[in-house]
Amino acid sequence: MISNTLFLVLGGCLLGAVQLFVGVAIGLWTRRPDSAAAKHGRAELHRAGAIAKRLQNLATEMSSIINEHCSELEQASQMLSLDGSQSDEPIPDAVMNVIGHIVHANQSLQSKLDQAESRLKEQAVEIESHISRSLTDALTGLPNRRDFNVRLEERMSTWQRRREVFSLLMLDVDHFKNLNDTYGHLAGDKVLTALGAALRGAVRREDAVARYGGEEFAVLLPNTSLEQAMLVAHKVREAVARIAVEHDGHQIGITVSGGLAAIRADERAETLIHRADEALYAAKRAGRNRAFAHDGTECRGVTGEQEGAAPAVVPQANVSTESLPAMVDVESWPAKIESAKSAADQPREVISAKLAETCQELRQFLAQRAQSEVTTSPANLAK
């Protein structure tokens, strides 16, 4: 029991220290080299160093306890190996004293191991909290680029095993530098925070939104084809367009440009990101505030995203012009009315008396209206 607990404590210390340093190293390597990120990275590294130091002290203390316990057991063994003639005590009493000494040493060791295990659990909680912070963007509360890379690898693994298609949407805030220059970096931070909240609300729970770096965001869309991802991009753009950040009496609105790509056969994660970036750059070149998709061959605009697109053409019914009143050539109305009367006199299906009366009233009204238009026409007035 003591041996198992001992190995657990020492193994936990070593594994925790290794995991901590590897996590911090990867986090610092993937983070972009801006000043805020560098300060945050140094703070995280200092915190990781403090945790690692405490783990090292705990391991050293446990090693000292183990050596002390081994010495006590060795002493007990020597006492048992003494010849009875060399001891003034009866052999049974000497054996009982040695056993009591061993029991006391084991109890002391067990107590110290329990304390060490408790401290190790506290360190494990702190390490877990530290790792969680290293996976989260401090400003927006979204997963950071390191967490995004982990999730992307998971998606790639699922794609390779089960061919579950997924898409990637890369987003970039339009004219973000101008926004910072005009309103200040505090306003820019507010905009990024509001954008993170809007993105979370615009996608499904299973979609992974991350701050990729600076003003760039990434959205992983599991079980989503390129055509379905286009609808998501349009929904995201609409959600972003509704953002209004209040800062120093100003209402700040933003737009985003987006680039889409869906995973293709035998494609690596780096290639997928590259294609989504290419589509994003195409959206920027096309005027921003829109999304483009890379289909594996070329970039094309997402339907409904382009500004100034030609409106849809509604097919016109094939209606004869003779069935419509000629509002310009009013002098031809009487002839057309007479023709209509003639057609009305042809045999028809029997209709109700009320409907026939209504039709007759309508014909009379049209005839009077036409006669009035003819009388007041410019040609007749000139005569």
Residues annotated as catalytic (active site), given as ranges: 215
**209: which strand partners?**
219
DSSP state letter for 297: S
The residue whose two tokens read 């001992």 is 6
* Assigned token pair, 277: 């970036």
CB atoms within 10 A of CB 292: 28
What is the spatial distance between Cα 364 and Cα 350, in angstroms, rounded to a whole number? 21
Geometric angle at alpha carbon 139, from 240 and 22, rounded to 5°: 125
Compute the C-alpha angle 94/98/102, nearest 5°: 170
Burial 307-328 (b: 16+ CB within 10 A, else e): eeeeeeeeeeeeeeeeeeeeee
CB 139 within 8 A of CB 193: yes
Residue 294: helix, strand or coil by DSSP? strand
Is residue 262 a contact partner of residue 167, using CB atoms and an 8 Å limit? yes
Q: Residue 189: which H helix or E strand, with range?
A: helix 185-202
**Residue of 101, 103, 106, 48 lying closest to 78 (CA atoms):** 101
Q: Which residues pair with 171 in a beta bridge?
A: 217, 258
d(C-alpha 111, C-alpha 46), whole Å: 32
The three-state secondary structure class of 20 is: helix
- Cα-Cα-Cα-Cα torsion 305, 184, 145, 138, nearest 10 degrees, comes to -130
- Let me know: does 341 contact 363? Beta carbons within 8 Å: yes
Closest to 220 in 3D by CA, of 160, 165, 268, 301 = 165
